[in-house]
Amino acid sequence: MNRRQFLQTSGAATLASRAAPGQPVQGRTRPETMEWFRKAKFGLFMHYGVYSILGRGEWVMLREAIPVAEYSKLKDQFTAGQFDAGKICDLALAAGMKYVNMTARHHDSFCLFKTGQTGFSSLDSPARRDLIGELTQACHKRGLGIFYYYSYALDWRHPHFYSRDTGLASTNAPWGMGRPDYKSPEPGYLYRKPEDFRKYIDFVHAQLRELLTQYGPVTGIWLDPIMGYYARPDLFPIQESYALIRKLQPGCLICFKQGANGDEDFVAPERTLAAHRLGGEVAKKVWEKNKSKLPEICDTLQPGIWGYRKADDSQHRDSDWVMKTLEYCKGIHGNLLLNTGPLPDGSIHPDDARTLREVGRRLKS
């Protein structure tokens, strides 16, 4: 893919005379946002949080069954000393990207934004910073779209998320199980009956309200994980949640991975068009309803993991791989949302930074 081909598929020429192509200006309708998004083609994904400190991936709390109290101590080590939203956005632009998506809250429930719902956040850590606010401001300044990843359907910390032993998905995979597999009961987990789960939903809705009212226009909300949702689909008021998002920001797009009820604006399967094999029959049915809305494939520069893993330091994917992946996405008329797991200090892994700059150079040649 050369520069001319990329610009043609990204619609850059036709958007040049309009408002800054990435900036979701106030008053933009959802169809207008979607029109822009389908032409954007290339975005930067970032998985960053306290799990980055351990350097063993974003699922470390579940996979190693780290107790809530022990995991919570990671907050006291979170400084984000080298997190520079301006430099990150400049790198995205240098790579030819049109939007940025970062984990506002992952499954461990650590928040990178200003929230009144929990003290487990970057503002209550030694960092004392609102990283989502900083990134949003930097994106708006540079005309990049901004998406917020939010773990809607899985939480390993909240007291009222459902327990492992209640209506599990038809899979033996641990990520379909909800909570970590602790050898003794976790004292902070208070879920006893389905009615308790509403307290978690109220927490989620309050945080979505914060994200959509504190920072100005947002290009989209990117919800995850789809398999957590299919473990207990009866507990999640999907339509109510979507209605709240669209009321607060009518032009904001909604993605829920492979789709939760068919009313998403787009879907974003991992790596290929194939539907998730682990979501059960409900997942397959909703995928069939949603796949015509596909504009995005998400993939990662680390070999199969999203948050920083030190063991992968010499194995990151190179620019040849990225160019081939862009070609694949072009062939299915989809965007590529390309992930990097920032280092514990918040800086971009140097191998990933070099790769992104080289991709940008190739796209301009």
Rounded to an integer, what distance in angstroms lies between the CA atom of residue 323 and that of residue 156? 36
Q: Is the pLDDT of residue 12 over 50?
A: no
For residue 76, what pLDDT is reported? Answer: 98
- CB proximity list for 244: less than 8 A, separation 6 or greater: 205, 208, 209
Q: Which domain holds residue 280?
A: 3-15+24-364
- CB proximity list for 285: less than 8 A, separation 6 or greater: none
Residue pair 283/258 in contact by the 8 Å Cβ criterion: yes
Task: Taking residues 17-42, report their average pLDDT.
Answer: 73
Helix, strand, or coil (residue 299): strand
Rounded to an integer, what distance in angstroms lies between the CA atom of residue 135 and that of residue 275? 31
For residue 282, what pLDDT is reported? Answer: 79
Question: Whose CA is closest to 145, among 266, 275, 259, 326?
Answer: 266
Give residue for tokens 């069954």: 65
pLDDT band at 5 (very low <50, low <70, confident <90, very high): low
User: In the numeric block, which tokens belong to residue 146?
Assistant: 């901004």
Residue pair 258/222 in contact by the 8 Å Cβ criterion: no
For residue 227, what pLDDT is reported? Answer: 76
Radius of gyration of the chain (CA): 19
Q: Is the pLDDT of residue 8 over 70?
A: no
Question: Whose CA is closest to 156, among 174, 179, 175, 185?
Answer: 179
- CB proximity list for 276: less than 8 A, separation 6 or greater: 226, 227, 257, 258, 269, 270, 283, 287
For residue 163, what pLDDT is reported? Answer: 83
Residue pLDDT, tens place only, 307-352: 999 999 999 999 999 999 999 999 999 999 999 999 999 999 999 9
For residue 347, what pLDDT is reported? Answer: 98
Task: Taking residues 119-144, report their average pLDDT.
Answer: 97
Rounded to an integer, what distance in angstroms lies between the CA atom of residue 113 and that of residue 210? 9
Q: Residue 12: in which H helix or E strand, if any? A: helix 12-15
Give residue for tokens 């998403």: 264
* Identity of the residue numbered 164: R
- Dihedrals phi, psi of 137, to nearest 5 degrees: -60, -45
Q: Is the pLDDT of residue 19 over 50?
A: no
User: In the numeric block, which tokens belong to residue 336?
Assistant: 């590529």
Question: Whose CA is closest to 203, among 321, 109, 310, 121?
Answer: 109
| DSSP per residue, 206-234 | HHHHHHHHSSS--SEEEEE-HHHHHHSGG
Residue pair 118/164 in contact by the 8 Å Cβ criterion: no
Residue pLDDT, tens place only, 199-214: 999 999 999 999 999 9
More confident residue, 207 or 275: 207
Strands 335-340, 42-46: parallel, antiparallel or unpaired by DSSP? parallel
Q: Is the peptide bond before 225 cis (omega within 30 degrees of 0)?
A: yes
| Residues pairing with 300 in the sheet | 339
Q: Is the pLDDT of residue 25 over 80?
A: no
More confident residue, 280 or 118: 118
Give the chain's domain count: 1
- CB proximity list for 292: less than 8 A, separation 6 or greater: none
Q: What is the mean pLDDT of the chain?
A: 90
Task: Taking residues 263-270, report their average pLDDT.
Answer: 95
Task: Taking residues 179-189, report their average pLDDT.
Answer: 92
Q: Is the pLDDT of residue 215 over 90?
A: yes
Residue pLDDT, tens place only, 190-201: 999 999 999 999
Q: Is the pLDDT of residue 63 over 90?
A: yes
Residue pLDDT, tens place only, 83-101: 999 999 999 999 999 999 9
Q: Which of 20-34, 88-102, 113-127 has the lowest mean pLDDT?
A: 20-34
CATH for 116: 3.20.20.80
For residue 101, what pLDDT is reported? Answer: 98
For residue 168, what pLDDT is reported? Answer: 46
